[in-house]
Amino acid sequence: MELIRFSFRRALIAYRPLHRNMHLLKNKAYVEGKWVGAASGQEFSVLNPADDSVIASVPDMTAPDAKKALDAASDAFQTWKSYTAKERSKIIRKWYEVVEAHTDDLAAIVTAESGKPLSEAKGEVAYGNSFLEWFADCARHINGEILSGPWPNKRILASRQPLGVVSVITPWNFPFAMITRKVGALMAAGCTCVIKPAEDTPLSALAAVELAEKAGVPKGVINVVTCSRKNAADVGKQMCEDSRVRCISFTGSTHVGKLLYGLAAKGIKRVSLELGGNAPFIVFPSADMNRALDQAMLAKFRNNGQACVGANRFLIHEDIYDQFIEGFKERIQTHCILGPGTKEGVTCGPLVNAEQVNKVAGFVADATQKGARVLTGGKIAADLGSKYFQSTLIDNVTPDMKVFNEEVFGPIATIVKIKSEKEALEIANNTNSGLAAYVFTKDLGQAFRMSRDLEFGMVAINDGLLSTAEAPFGGIKESGIGREGSMHGAEEYTEIKYTLMSDLE
């Protein structure tokens, strides 16, 4: 444990004042309120992408370990579902308060394992914690209905009841917020869960449940199973096919989402899938150019482009095309500062792993071979390390390029010239993805038309950030099923029971 402490201290040396509560760094999984290892005794290393140093080693669990976690969640459900809405609300609220008090310590762990700048990590903790605050309130407002029926002596009651055990599978790009957005909602509804965090970022999940334990969340309500890529498929299969699991909540790639959907179908289980995107960022001549450019930086380079709602295709009207390119290029060169997330002034950290670096580099190579032009960036910043990729702007992009059709999930912005609103819609909608879209215009009618006609679950008008706890987050087409956040997010984890009350004369 002393070696783990030393390694983590080195990663955070630039921020010694934040290095207070090292107990948040856990090297065990969490099952039935206990910190446990894998039955096999095996572990895997969690690396800091900034320098490839080992932060900690955690249990490399297998399907039998996952089954034990599901046993714990199933047992806990029998009592948690009977807690009153007020009691559940109080516990979730306490979790929110404990996280609030440990923001700096939690953010340090997020930065260490994901690579994002510490300022962004603090922003993620605040964002993730807003879901706990929100769902603490929602817990007391999950209501049923009394419906009018055709009979004078009968009443129809529709009540919402918790689904049961939920398998939660989360990604590495927002390792804290993707947990609270799901777990806060399912706890509010009266469900219990088993979490499998991403292999690259399990430490944020373990820190989150350490704080949940401090807040008094009953044992078994939240369980965390950690595993390496080697065991991920078997653990995921167990978590999806176990007969006691009534819902699978997953955020990640469309490819994996389809596999999990297939496993869920075997048991006719509920799914909540937030999958990949291919977000258009459309700018019309009436737009406020400075605002569009500032928001473009947020929509593209937040978390170094590693966001499902990150802008992929910048569709810029021909009347302002050159102006937008020059402004965007200048902002990228000025504001995208690469470096380790703990270094002051850094705005873009490393990509999370070598696979991401190779994928992003491959997009650039494919595009340039087919005639695209790199206006800035486009290369690995080898002077910083193996996982740093320059913030990149590319034009002359055509539909036959991979970067145009696939989710980039990295710091590459591609520019396409458009001539009309109709053309913008045709290009934007020509994708199997339908998560988020961004439109910049001061024409009110155009704003409403674009919102109506864009085939995406979320549309932001004149803004580059659209996620908030109060709004329903989710996509259409192959970008997912269901909604997270808002009251709809809590209701995802309930089922409606119809009760007929008769003989009421």
**What pLDDT score was predicted for residue 121?**
97
Q: Above pLDDT 70, what percent of the chain?
A: 96
Contact 297, 347 (CB under 8 A): no
- Closest Cα to residue 320, out of 294, 288, 298, 295? 288
**What pLDDT score was predicted for residue 502?**
94
Q: Where are the beta strands (DSSP E) in 23-80?
A: 29-31, 34-36, 43-48, 53-59
**What pLDDT score was predicted for residue 472?**
98
**What pLDDT score was predicted for residue 5?**
37
* Residues noted as catalytic: 274
Specify the amino acid at residue 282: I
Q: CA-CA distance, 108 to 118, in Å (whole number)?
A: 7
**What pLDDT score was predicted for residue 505?**
77
What would the two tokens of residue 379 be? 């290369």
**Residue 259 neighbours by CB distance under 10 Å:** 16
**What pLDDT score was predicted for residue 6?**
33
- CATH superfamily to which 2-275+482-495 belongs: Aldehyde Dehydrogenase; Chain A, domain 1 (3.40.605.10)
Indicate the SS3 state at residue 292: helix
Contact 454, 429 (CB under 8 A): yes
Q: CA-CA distance, 345 to 410, in Å (whole number)?
A: 20
What would the two tokens of residue 367 be? 């595009």
Strands 155-162, 165-169: pairing kind: unpaired
Strands of the sheet with 373-376, listed across from one edge: 373-376, 392-395, 412-418, 311-317, 279-283, 436-440, 458-461
How buried is residue 323: exposed, middle or buried, by Cβ count under 10 Å (0-12/13-18/19+)?
middle
Q: What is the pTM of this model?
A: 0.93
Q: Where are the beta strands (DSSP E) in 32-117?
A: 34-36, 43-48, 53-59
Per-residue pLDDT of the chain (505 residues; tens, 9 = 90+): 333 333 334 344 333 433 444 479 999 999 999 999 999 999 999 999 999 999 999 999 999 999 999 999 999 999 999 999 999 999 999 999 999 999 999 999 999 999 999 999 999 999 999 999 999 999 999 999 999 999 999 999 999 999 999 999 999 999 999 999 999 999 999 999 999 999 999 999 999 999 999 999 999 999 999 999 999 999 999 999 999 999 999 999 999 999 999 999 999 999 999 999 999 999 999 999 999 999 999 999 999 999 999 999 999 999 999 999 999 999 999 999 999 999 999 999 999 999 999 999 999 999 999 999 999 999 999 999 999 999 999 999 999 999 999 999 999 999 999 999 999 999 999 999 999 999 999 999 999 999 999 999 999 999 999 999 999 999 999 999 999 999 999 999 999 999 999 988 7
DSSP readout, 150-201? S-TT-EEEEEEEE--EEEEE--SSSTTHHHHHHHHHHHHHT-EEEEE--TT-
Tokens 């819609």 correspond to 425
Q: Architecture of 279-469 per CATH?
A: 3-Layer(aba) Sandwich (3.40)
Question: How many residues belong to the chain?
Answer: 505
Q: CA-CA distance, 179 to 168, in Å (whole number)?
A: 8
Cβ-proximal residues to 452 (8 Å cutoff; 6+ apart), any chain: none
Can you give the residue ranges of every domain in the chain? 2-275+482-495, 279-469
What average pLDDT does the structure give for the chain? 94
Domain 2-275+482-495 matches domain 279-469 at the CATH topology level: no
Q: CA-CA distance, 352 to 354, in Å (whole number)?
A: 7
- Closest Cα to residue 30, out of 166, 193, 230? 193
